[in-house]
Structure 1
Amino acid sequence: MEPIVSNGSIFIGILTFLLVGLLVSMFKILREYERGVIFLLGRFYQVKGPGLIIVIPIVQQMVRVDLRTVVMDVPTQDVISRDNVSVRVNAVIYFRVIDAQKAIINVEDYLQATSQLAQTTLRSVLGQHELDEMLANREMLNTDIQAILDTRTDGWGIKVSNVEIKHVDLNETMIRAIARQAEAERTRRAKVIHASGEMEASAKLVEAAEKLSTEPNAILLRYLQTLTEIAGEKNSTILFPLPMDLLKGVLGKQDKKP
């Protein structure tokens, strides 16, 4: 009888241990940023959490979902712009799960799916723009990419909050070409500014000549002022202005001689 009692005690002890283990495994603790997607016999039951929840072993299964914002680095992509320039672009996207049920049921791996979608969208959007737009209008491109990703990931329960293009890498030949273009543009601007200055100066000179012509003594005062400036520079050269009427008279007489 003693062996039978001993075997019965061992069986009861094992059974008690298993029951305690099952009871302990029923209780799950989810953090504030976590949700648990519960499946009952393979079918979706409900989303639980955060805090202490009960999951019936064997009958129910739980999948944890993190609701915090994910910062994902998009690998460098080779992009050909609309003006046939080859560039290498990489970006970073910020997104988070807003519907745990869709994120688990509607897509196999929402992280991998979002990464692949971001890569293809980055190449597609940037390929529709020229190089100058990529370099100058990054904010507009970021907004366009973010809007497309947010729309396409809505069925996965994901919200894309921001997209940032980090680097647009060019080859050495294109960098030199851009440098020459920038130099030519600055030269053109300098010439335009110089020409505009000459035009304004000529207009002011005409205006000044008209004012001086109304008063003959003004020419004499201007001449004396010029002599003062020359003397201040310790220059021994003295300029004597000759009236144009006198020069015309002398030249006219020379033309009349046989």
Structure 2
Amino acid sequence: MEGAVITIILFVGAIIASGIKIIDQYERGVVLTLGKFSGIREPGLRIVVPVFQRMIKVDIRTNTIDIPKQEVITKDNVTINVDAVVYFNVVNADKAVLEVANYIYATSQFAQAALRDVTGNVELDSLLGKRDEVSQQIKDIVDGETEKWGINIDSVKVQNIELPQDMKRAMAKQAEAERERRAKIIAAEGEQMSAQKLGEAADIISAHPIALQLRNLQVLTEIAVEKNSTIIFPSQFMDTVQSVKDFMAKEVK
């Protein structure tokens, strides 16, 4: 008799204990009473009626979903492999439980479809150069669909874009040709500026013949820095010296 009483007490205690729930700060508890939604339980110590009530905990922290590589044909008929990552969180725990069987799996599948649709409607150059815009388009599509499940999409980031080997070689050649084009343009601009400066110098020398003589003397001065150099003065040099003397005498007067 005593054994039966103890058994009953233990059974009742186990039932009561099963109704004591602890909800963490990052969770919300969705309570179903006789199979019907009856409310949300906030973090802390909570009591549910065993047998009649059931509580499902939902994590409301930001979660991540890795979208596996998707083989996509871009708008300009280039086959690529592209993957992405989705950041999301639950804003309505009741909808996440009542509106969809597995909200994480459903969000992942819809994000894969959106990734294929968006990347398939843009050209390769746009996909490579405007990755943020493409990611934003995918986010808007996924967010619009998952809103009814109580899911908020924080962001979507397109990560790796794998190109075919022949396309990589073609892009490398294109980049090399572009660098060579820029180098030739810079060299041509340098030649143009040099020619302009030489023309200006020629105009100055033609207007002032003595400037050429002074330039000759400056060159000789620069050569004389090398002590092991032998300088041979041409006969015209004496005329240059005399011209400089005459010019200086005229300036003094």
- Pair 1:181 & 2:174 matched: yes
- Pair 1:209 & 2:206 matched: no
Question: What's the counterpart of residue 87 of structure 2?
Answer: 94
Within 5 A, what are the aligned runs for 1:132-171? Answer: 132-171=125-164
SS at match of 1:153: helix
Within 5 A, what are the aligned runs for 1:110-121? Answer: 110-121=103-114
- Pair 1:78 & 2:68 matched: no
Question: What's the counterpart of residue 28 of structure 1?
Answer: 21
- For the 8 Å contact 1:35–1:67, the answer to whether it is kept is yes
Q: CA deviation at 1:13?
A: 3.5
Question: What fraction of aligned residue pairs are identical, expressed as a percent?
Answer: 44
Distance 1:230 1:81, change over 3 A: farther
Provide the alpha-carbon RMSD of the alignment: 2.4
Point out where structure 2 has 5 or more consecutive residues left out of the alignment. 237-253
SS at match of 1:181: helix
In structure 2, how many angstroms separate the alpha carbons of the residues matched to 1:139 and 1:230? Answer: 61
Distance 1:97 1:213, change over 3 A: same
- Using structure 2 for the length normalisation, give the TM-score: 0.83
Q: CA deviation at 1:232?
A: 5.7
- For the 8 Å contact 1:227–1:238, the answer to whether it is kept is no
In structure 1, how many angstroms separate the alpha carbons of the residues matched to 2:34 and 2:184? Answer: 80
In structure 2, how many angstroms separate the alpha carbons of the residues matched to 1:182 and 1:19? Answer: 77
- For the 8 Å contact 1:99–1:158, the answer to whether it is kept is yes
For residues 83-117 of structure 1, the C-alpha deviation after alignment (integer angstroms, 9 at most, x for no partner) is 22111111111111111011111111100011111
In structure 2, how many angstroms separate the alpha carbons of the residues matched to 1:232 and 1:44? Answer: 99
Q: CA deviation at 1:209?
A: 1.9
Question: What's the counterpart of residue 215 of structure 2?
Answer: 222
In structure 1, how many angstroms separate the alpha carbons of the residues matched to 2:208 and 2:3? Answer: 131
Point out where structure 1 has 5 or more consecutive residues left out of the alignment. 1-5, 243-258
In structure 2, how many angstroms separate the alpha carbons of the residues matched to 1:127 and 1:203? Answer: 52
Number of residue equivalences? 234
Q: CA deviation at 1:178?
A: 0.9
For residues 149-170 of structure 1, the C-alpha deviation after alignment (integer angstroms, 9 at most, x for no partner) is 2222111111111222221112
SS at match of 2:76: coil
Letter in 2 for 1:170: L
